[in-house]
Amino acid sequence: MNATTPRIAVIGAGPGGLTCARILQRHDIPVTVYDLDASPAARDQGGTLDMHPDTGQYALRAADLLDDFLALARPEGQQMRLVGADGRIVFDGIPPEADTTEGNPEIDRGRLHSLLLDSLKPGTVHWAHKVTRVEPVGDGIHRLHFADGTTTDAELVIGADGAWSKVRRLLTDATPRYTGVTFVEAGFNDVDTRHPRLAALTAAGTMMALHNQQGFVSQRNSGGHIRVYVAMRTDEDWHQQAGLDLTDTAAVRDTLLSRFTGWSDHLLGFITDSDTGYVNRPLYALPVPHTWTHTPGLTLLGDAAHLMSPFSGMGANLAMLDGADLAQALIDNATIDQAVTAYEKILLPRSVEAAEAAAGAIDDAFSPDGAAQVLAHMTQHH
C-alpha cells in the first residue's frame, strides 16, 4: 500500500488491535484505534499472560518490541503446580533456569498493554469512543457511530472489540455462549508478607487445585500480587438461585465456602482472605467452528473472531498473531480486499483448531476426573 492508503479503523485497544496498529505504523500506513474506555487507566487490565514463541512473541518481534517485552517478562512465572483438594502438591513443573527467550515467559496484562500503547504515535488511540453501530454505506465503506453522537467513515473496519463485538454483528449471527464454568475472582496484595501460606502454595507461577468439577486457579502477578479464580461448573445464574447479592462480600464468601466443604484449610484461604472482594466472571465462548463470509471493508481479530475459554492459554497470543498477520497482509497486498481475503484464509482454519482445543481443555478440567486429566496434560508438557 502507498501514500494514498485508505482510512483504517481498529475498534478496540486490546493486545491484538494495538499490535496491528503498531506494525502498520512501522510501515507508514495510517491507522486510528477507537476504544470505549475513558483512558488507558480506566480499568484493571486483568491477570498474567504467557507469551508463546510462535504466536505472541512472533507478533512482538514483528512489532519490533520483543526485546522490550523480554525486559519486562517473568520467565519464572512459567512454573505450573497442581494441588489436590487436601492441599498436597501433586505436580510441580518448574521451568529450567534458562535464557528468557526460551519457553513461554509471563507478563502482566497491564504491562503488556502499556508496552504496546507507548509504542504508538501520540493520538493514535481515541479514548471514550464507544461504537454503538457500524453502518455500511457502499463500496466497502462503513460508517462508525459513536455513543457521543459523532461518526466517522472507514474503508477498513477491524473488529478487535472483544467478546461482545459490535463489528461481528455485520459478519455473523453467532453470539458467545456460556461454557458452564464460572470464575469468581479474588485478589491478594503484598502476599509474601501478608499471605505467606498462599504465596508459598502459588509459588512463582500458576497453581491449580481441581476436584469434582470445581477448584482454584491462583496466578502470581508482579508487584507482590496474586490473582485467584474460584472456579465452578455451575449454572450461569448460580448467585441468583442462591439469593446472593454479589456486592455483599461476606455473603459471597460464605456461599463459596459452603461449595468447598471438605477442602484443605490452606486452599480455603483463597476464599476467606481476599483483599479485594469478589468479582463474578462467567466464561463464554463462541460456537465452534465460527466462520463468516468475506465482506469487503470488514474483518475481525482476537476474541471478536474466536472467543474461547482461558484454559487454552491462547487468547491473547492468538489475538496478537491475528493483528500481526492482518497488518502484514495489508503491507503486502495492493488492495484492502486482497489483504483481508489473504488474512482470513489463514485466520479462520487456525481459529477453529484453537477453539476446539480450548473447548476440550475446559471440559477436561471441570469433569469429574478433572484433576487426573490436567495432571496428564501437565506431565506431558512439562
Contact 98, 75 (CB under 8 A): yes
Contact 260, 252 (CB under 8 A): no
The confidence score (pLDDT) of residue 1 equals 45
Q: What is the pTM of this model?
A: 0.92
pLDDT in tens, 169-197: 999 999 999 999 999 999 999 999 999 99
The confidence score (pLDDT) of residue 96 equals 64
The confidence score (pLDDT) of residue 375 equals 72
CA torsion 353→359→362→368, rounded to 10°? -120
Alpha helices by DSSP H, listed for 2-157, are 15-26, 56-62, 66-72, 109-118
3-state secondary structure of 81: strand
H helix or E strand, kind and range, residue 370: helix 370-381
The confidence score (pLDDT) of residue 196 equals 95
- The more confident residue out of 73 and 158 is 158
Average pLDDT, integer, range 330-351:
96
Q: Is the dihedral of CA 365, 350, 32, 68 positive or negative?
A: positive
3-state secondary structure of 344: helix
In 3-state terms the chain splits into helix, strand, coil percentages (rounded to 5) of: 40, 25, 40
Question: In this structure, what C-alpha cell is assigned to residue 42?
Answer: 480506566
Mean pLDDT, the chain, integer: 92
Tell the residue number behind the cell numbers 498493554, with chain if given.
Answer: 113
| Range in 90-104, 145-159, 184-198 the model is least confident about | 90-104
Given pLDDT bands bounded at 50, 70 and 90, which one contains residue 343?
very high
Average pLDDT, integer, range 350-366:
89
The confidence score (pLDDT) of residue 100 equals 46
Residues 270 and 268: their CA atoms lie apart, in Å, by 5
Percentage of the residues of the chain whose pLDDT score is greater than 90: 78
Given pLDDT bands bounded at 50, 70 and 90, which one contains residue 203?
very high
